[in-house]
Amino acid sequence: MAINNFGLGFTAQNTYKVPTRNRPDKYAESPLAQRARFEVSEGIRPAEYFAAYKYLPVTQKDITTGDYVVIPKGRILSAITAYDLSPTGGLQLDGSGVLYGYDDQITTGNVGSYSQENSYFGYDEYITSLLVPANGGTETTLFYTQKDVDAGGYTSGGTTILDGTTAGSGVINPANAPIGVAFHDWYQDIRGKNLNYRMWSDGGHVLTDWYVEVPFIQESGTFSRAIAADDAARRAEFTNVSDIFTYMSIDNDTETFRPGIFVKSDALGNYMPEALGSPTATKTAQTVGKLLALDTRFPKSGLEDVETYPGSRMPGTQTAGLPSFLFEFVVAQEAINGNDVTIEGVLALVQTGKYGVARIQLSVS
């Protein structure tokens, strides 16, 4: 049987001569050959190295290690550089910054310090910015509390922290804009406090683009955003929630709450609708993402029938099938109002829409 050679022509072909080009004599001197790099990394977790601002108030204690958290997971973040004059105690352009970090074991009452540049306990040379909570573009005071006293912390002036619930002391956080969110808890910077121990490596990264979820609360007047400097007792109640949970709050009186609205930071780096939740709002420097979904349809997958024990922090009979982060958030928020809610009561508050889970597409760019 004959085999057809389809597409193969065996007739005489033309021959061509195509010249080659030698390297130009000046190629090695061309600006095109000498340009610096342009691309650094992908933009989801940009390859920029940050440290937490050393004098942030602590939020909660890790009972396993005994260390303190200053930025809870999920919190919206901004940063300060050597060009920022406030808050004090940050990086210095001339490298003259000092870090207060230990009690002198030789001279009683003396607070020791280290150089930001020339000390083993100074900042890594790749750290150019220090993280602080975003505040929606409004200057905020981050108050010290008894937890800071217990942690043995210092102010940026090198003094021992007093109880902020009575003294009203704290860190002035200037108006800022968001750069990302915390995808893990950030621990207190205790570099230099102990000769042989620090909690973790010198720094880390932030998240700018991801699909995330946080609990939400709808309320009248948004007491969850209140930071009353002249009301120490109220502030102490509020911090019991904000120091542990990252969440979204919605003011029923003034704000629209629907999928598609832009989301920004409140005064402490938690989430809130931007431009009162207007569906015609435009993206601004404060925008961190867009609300995609509101979920109050719990329990799911029969989790309410899974036997759990009190304190297990697992969804089951002790949480009415709710995710533990949502259940604990509801209990903590209701406690501020003096309500000791039952398991069934927590579920009812979710199913009637006061609480739930907000899912947000981050877009901090």
Q: What's the pLDDT score for residue 131? A: 97
Residue 162 lies inside a defined structural domain of this protein: yes
- Which segments of 116-194 are extended strands (E)? 129-133, 140-143, 170-173, 180-181, 186-187
Q: Distance between alpha carbon 210 and the CA centroid of its chain, in Å?
A: 13
Q: Which domain-ending residue is among 208, 242, 273?
A: 208
Helix or strand holding residue 334 (H, E): helix 324-336
pTM for the whole thing?
Answer: 0.88
Residue 68 lies inside a defined structural domain of this protein: yes
Counting Cα atoms < 13 Å in the Cβ hemisphere of 8 gives 4
* Dist CA 46 CA 178 (whole Å): 14
Do residue 50 and residue 188 come from a single domain?
A: yes
Digit-coded pLDDT (tens) for 120-133: 888 888 999 999 99
- Could you give the residue ranges of the DSSP H alpha helices within 15-81? 31-34
CB neighbour class for 280 (10 Å; exposed up to 12, middle 13-18, buried from 19)? exposed
Do residue 117 and residue 175 come from a single domain?
A: yes
175 vs 152, residue with greater confidence: 175
Digit-coded pLDDT (tens) for 193-240: 887 877 666 789 999 999 999 999 998 765 556 554 445 566 666 667
Do residue 164 and residue 283 come from a single domain?
A: no
Digit-coded pLDDT (tens) for 40-62: 999 999 999 999 999 999 999 99
Of 215, 131, 212, 216, the C-alpha closest to 176 is: 131
* Dist CA 3 CA 15 (whole Å): 28
Do residue 119 and residue 186 come from a single domain?
A: yes
Q: What's the pLDDT score for residue 161? A: 86
Q: Which domain-ending residue is among 173, 189, 208?
A: 208
Q: Which domain-ending residue is among 177, 208, 239?
A: 208
Residue 319 lies inside a defined structural domain of this protein: yes
Helix or strand holding residue 248 (H, E): strand 248-251
Residue 264 lies inside a defined structural domain of this protein: yes
Residue 27 lies inside a defined structural domain of this protein: no
Two tokens at 112? 């020791």
* Dist CA 224 CA 72 (whole Å): 16
Residue 9 lies inside a defined structural domain of this protein: no
Annotate 186-196 with b (16+ C-beta within 10 A) or e (fewer): bbbbbbbbeee
Among left, alpha and beta (phi > 0; psi -120 to 50; other), residue 290 is beta
**Under 8 Å CB-to-CB from 174, ≥6 apart: which residues?**
84, 86, 87, 139
* Dist CA 165 CA 146 (whole Å): 7
Do residue 186 and residue 227 come from a single domain?
A: no
**Under 8 Å CB-to-CB from 83, ≥6 apart: which residues?**
93
Pairing label, strands 129-133, 50-52: parallel
Q: Show the domain range for 256.
A: 209-365
Do residue 201 and residue 71 come from a single domain?
A: yes
Do residue 236 and residue 202 come from a single domain?
A: no
Do residue 221 and residue 321 come from a single domain?
A: yes
Residue 18 lies inside a defined structural domain of this protein: no
Residue 183 lies inside a defined structural domain of this protein: yes
Judged by average pLDDT, the poorest of 129-133, 233-237, 251-255, 266-270 is 233-237
CB atoms closer than 10 angstroms to residue 301? 9
- Which residue reads 């993402």 in tokens? 289
Do residue 84 and residue 105 come from a single domain?
A: yes
Do residue 109 and residue 232 come from a single domain?
A: no
CB 176 within 8 Å of CB 269: no
Two tokens at 108? 């009683």
Do residue 200 and residue 265 come from a single domain?
A: no
CB neighbour class for 298 (10 Å; exposed up to 12, middle 13-18, buried from 19)? buried
Residue 272's pLDDT band, with cuts at 50, 70 and 90, is very high
Do residue 250 and residue 199 come from a single domain?
A: no
Q: What is the mean pLDDT of residues 50-78?
A: 94
Count up the domains in the chain and report the number. 2
